[in-house]
Amino acid sequence: MAQIIDIDNDGKIGKKDIDGNSALLEIQLREEKADSQRRMAWAAIISMIVFTMFLFSPIISDSRVQALADLLGLFYIAQAGVVGAYMGVTAWMSKGQSSVISQISTSSVKKVPQPQQPEI
């Protein structure tokens, strides 16, 4: 169980402290999830590179590569899917956050009416 921190330093744990702690916990969990997804995408990229270098090495014969061609295609598609999904979701989430920030910033700015130009 997570330790509840007295956010407002009044010596009492109240609803405000519990809400603040739950918000902090949610942020920490999102950060951990993002880190895990980033590591998974990097592992997929590195595995594709290492596997490709291994296939082009003289250790593996051409006949084995041809025999495993269908399986290798699935491997590359799956790894590229992991990387593509990570990049797409990351871009989508950052776009969503930037639109929320722009909505907040535009709604908090007072609009000053422009003076009317006299007709000539």
3-state secondary structure of 61: coil
Q: What is the pLDDT along the chain (120 residues), one digit of tens a residue?
A: 456 666 666 666 677 767 777 888 888 888 898 899 899 999 999 999 999 999 998 888 889 989 989 999 999 999 999 999 999 988 888 887 665 555 554 544 444 455 566 666
Boundaries of every domain in the chain: 15-92
- Tokens describing residue 93: 């989430």
Rounded Cα gap, residues 97 and 91, in angstroms: 10
Instruction: Please state the pTM of the whole predicted model.
Output: 0.61
